[in-house]
Structure formats: C-alpha cells, structure tokens
Amino acid sequence: MEVSSNPAAYPPSRAKFATAATQIEAAAKIAICCIFLSWFFLDTLVVNLGSFQHGVRFLDASALIADPSRLFFGVNGWAHRVGFGLLCVICLGAPVLPHWRRQKALWLAYLAPLTLMAVCGALLMWRSSGEFIAVPNDAGRISGNLLQFANGLVHHGSALIARHVSIGVGGYLAIAAGVLLALRGIRRFRGDGIFEAPRVAPPA
C-alpha cells in the first residue's frame, strides 16, 4: 500500500499538523534535531571517580532525580524511560503549536525543551545536595567502598562533587540548541510572531 507524502492526502487534522511542521524554519528544525540527538543518544553528564568513568544521558534524568546515587552506578532498565521519554518527545514537538493554532502566545512553546532541561537540572541539584547515598548492609566490599567514597564526596560539599561530575558533549549541544530555539520563540512572541492575513489577488 502506497503512502503519500503530501499533507493533503492525510485526514484534515493530520494534514494541518503536517503542514504546520513543514512551516518551522530550518534553523529551528536543526536545533530540534540536535536536542533529540543529545537527549537520547549522547552523554549529558560524565562522572569521573578515579579510574571509574561513565556517562549519563538526559533520558535518564527522571531516574537520577528519584535516586541520585545512580549518578555513580548507572541506570538499569527501561521502566523510568517510557514516561519521561514521552515527555521529552512532547517538548520537542511543542514548537509546532504556533504554526498549527496560529496564536501568538504559543510561540512560547519554543521554550519547552530548555525549560525541561532547567527544571530537571534544578531538581537534580536539590536532590543531590545532601547525603543521598546509603551503604547497604549486604553490599559487597568493592561496591561498599565505592559507596563510602561517594558519601565522602557528599560530606565535603557540592563544590567537591562538581569536580567529579562534568557536563558531557550531549549536555553542551542540548543547551546551545535549546537556547537558540528559545531565543527564536521569544523574538517571534515579542513582535515577529503576528500572522499575516492571506493576500487576495485583485480582480482582473
């Protein structure tokens, strides 16, 4: 069965949404693609504890907020990624709204990806500001020592933790693309986002 790429071939609501998506300017589309790549495939944070090093993707942010010890031990499983991944996709699709509904206030939807990153960053900093790692009674010698070392970092304050947790390439790329997207949305909201009425050709 052949599927047409022409938006006019879709049902009215889908056709309108598809047309709206094509109206996003090229720079904004590139920014959205960069954020998608950064969130789902690149390391947002990099943890260095001596010879131990691993990266954490933004897709795992909800798991880190729920249990910041995962910064040091990684995140296993996909259960937490389903809901948060859906939220990420919604934020990435938010810039379509002003082209779909034609309301000036919807240009602020361009801020959705950057807002999500800011909220997750603030929550993670708040959750990891105290003694968040507890050594289990049945922990093995190696894992227990690593937990105690991580606890020692926390005891010395967030300044010392900052030396061992750095922003990865995915974090920098997502922030840069998110800022670019947000600035374009703010610019359109503050004046350039007024939609012009369609021009009518003069009678012959």
pLDDT by residue (tens digit) across 120-137?
Answer: 999 988 887 765 555 444
Report d(CA 150, CA 147) in Å as an integer: 5
Report d(CA 138, CA 89) in Å as an integer: 39
Bridge partners (DSSP) of residue 52 are 49
What pLDDT is recorded for position 80? 84
- Contact between residue 44 and residue 170 where contact means Cβ atoms under 8 Å apart: yes
Could you tell me where the DSSP H helices lie in the chain? 12-22, 26-41, 61-66, 70-73, 79-93, 97-101, 112-127, 141-155, 158-162, 169-187
Band (pLDDT 50/70/90 cuts) for residue 56 is: very high
End-to-end CA, the chain: 44
For 134, the 3-state DSSP assignment is coil
Query: What is the overall mean pLDDT for the chain?
Result: 78
For 129, the 3-state DSSP assignment is coil
Band (pLDDT 50/70/90 cuts) for residue 53 is: confident
Average the pLDDT over each of 46-55, 101-110, 127-136, 158-167 and give the range with the smallest value: 127-136
Residue 195 has pLDDT above 80, yes or no: no
What pLDDT is recorded for position 182? 96
What pLDDT is recorded for position 145? 57
Residue 89 has pLDDT above 70, yes or no: yes
Residue 38 has pLDDT above 60, yes or no: yes
Average pLDDT estimate for 144-170 = 66
Report d(CA 191, CA 196) in Å as an integer: 12
Band (pLDDT 50/70/90 cuts) for residue 36 is: very high
Burial of 200 (0-12, 13-18, 19+ CB in 10 A): exposed
The more confident residue out of 140 and 90 is 90
146, two tokens: 């690593």
Average pLDDT estimate for 63-81 = 80
What pLDDT is recorded for position 125? 85
**Sequence spans of domains, the chain:** 20-131+163-192
Residue 77 has pLDDT above 50, yes or no: yes
143, two tokens: 């894992």
What pLDDT is recorded for position 149? 59
- Give ∠ CA 89-108-58 in degrees, rounded to 5: 35
